[in-house]
Amino acid sequence: MIEIENVTKRYGSQTAVADVSFRCETGTVTGFLGPNGAGKSTTMRILAGLTPATSGRALIDGIPYRSLPNPGRAVGVLLDASAQHPGRTGREVLTLGSMLLGLPRERVVQVLDLVGLDKKAADKRVGNYSLGMRQRLGLAHSLLGNPSTLVLDEPANGLDPEGIFWMRGLLREFADRGGTVLLSSHLLHEVEAVADHLVVIGNGRIAADGSKKELLAGAGTLVRALDPQRLGQALAQQGVKVTPTADGALLVDAEALVVGQAAAASGTVLSELRPADGAGLEALFLQLTATATAAAPAGAVNNAPMEAVR
């Protein structure tokens, strides 16, 4: 289990994350979502003991990462797949890791096979790896100690569709065997496919925290119009919150009847009007992060150092 309790991180006068709290239950995959600069990476670095929190605490099975007797045997961490020695082979990287963790050399062969790196790839220098190969090596390293918890930041970055599908199955199987996964990703459809629980962060604060089912069930109304700008203005005049989606639709925080009445009053022709449940995670993400941005105090997070709030 992962517990983030009232975590705040400040860099001088700038706040990267503010009073962040959430839990990742054993046997689940938790999708940790937010736009660039929202505070995801800062929170994960605090959890992994790489950045000290200004206040609050981050626990893995009730213990801070730095207090674990052999952290790599309890927690697998992948925060940056590029942070690997380019002059070593993939096999050498994992062999050194196995020696540090006190593992038999056979474990290196097992994880190479698990992530799909064959002998040719394993004996190639990491500097010659593609980004997708580095991600597989990073996942192999995180799994090396046979941990019960995984903390992964953008693990699918650089993977091809087949690799993304493979990773989804890997994480689902890990959780189904009783593991705990905290997964940050910009690939919303993949998170939606694998996650049990969702935590959305915006401007350093939690915007939503709940099961995938309950969060997606309350996503509002999805509408498409021949003149979406006109409809959006009509709804805004009534004080209704409207969020454009990437494919030209509008996500409206109101019932379909309200949308229909606004369309009729403004003379706007609708081509689609339905509950937004089926619009999925993208619509929810846009709605929640837009709300978090609007609610954030001026300069509270967006002016913090960029390396601090990824």
Residue 260: partners with Cβ closer than 8 Å, 6 or more residues away: 270, 273
Residue 209 falls inside a structural domain: yes
Provide the pLDDT confidence category of residue 291 given band limits of 50, 70 and 90.
low
In the chain, what percentage of residues exceed pLDDT 70? 90
CATH number of the CATH domain containing 103: 3.40.50.300
**What tens digit of pLDDT does each residue of 106-129 get?**
999 999 999 999 999 999 999 999
Cβ atoms of residues 223 and 234 within 8 Å: no
The pLDDT value given to residue 306? 38
State how beta strands 29-33 and 197-202 pair.
parallel
Amino acid sitting at position 288: L
Cα 26 to chain center, whole Å? 17
CA 75 – CA 258 distance, rounded (Å): 49
Q: What is the mean pLDDT of residues 252-275?
A: 91
Query: Of residues 103 and 186, which shows the higher confidence score?
Result: 103
CATH number of the CATH domain containing 287: 3.30.70
Q: What is the mean pLDDT of residues 92-119?
A: 94
Residue 125 DSSP class: B
**Number of structural domains found in the chain:** 2
In the chain, what percentage of residues exceed pLDDT 90? 67
The pLDDT value given to residue 308? 43
Mean pLDDT across the chain, nearest whole number?
88
Residue 158 DSSP class: T
Say if residue 46 is in the same domain as residue 13: yes
CA 92 – CA 278 distance, rounded (Å): 46
Q: What is the mean pLDDT of residues 272-297?
A: 68
The pLDDT value given to residue 222? 85
CA 128 – CA 117 distance, rounded (Å): 14
- Residue 96 reports pLDDT greater than 90: yes
**What tens digit of pLDDT does each residue of 59-77 get?**
999 999 999 999 999 999 9
Provide the pLDDT confidence category of residue 215 given band limits of 50, 70 and 90.
confident
Residue 275 burial by Cβ neighbours in a 10 Å radius (0-12, 13-18, 19+): middle
Residue 179 falls inside a structural domain: yes
- Residue 133 reports pLDDT greater than 70: yes
Residue 195: partners with Cβ closer than 8 Å, 6 or more residues away: 29, 30, 31, 183, 212
Domain of residue 102, residue span: 2-215
The pLDDT value given to residue 218? 60
Q: What is the mean pLDDT of residues 37-42?
A: 90
CA 187 – CA 181 distance, rounded (Å): 16
Provide the pLDDT confidence category of residue 216 given band limits of 50, 70 and 90.
confident
Residue 302 falls inside a structural domain: no
Residue 124 falls inside a structural domain: yes
CA 236 – CA 217 distance, rounded (Å): 23
Say if residue 187 is in the same domain as residue 42: yes
Query: Which residue among 164, 186, 215 closes a domain?
Result: 215
Say if residue 6 is in the same domain as residue 72: yes
Query: Of residues 187 and 92, which shows the higher confidence score?
Result: 92
The pLDDT value given to residue 276? 73
Cβ atoms of residues 141 and 93 within 8 Å: yes
Residue 180 burial by Cβ neighbours in a 10 Å radius (0-12, 13-18, 19+): buried
The pLDDT value given to residue 281? 74
Q: Which two tokens stand for residue 209?
A: 């925290």
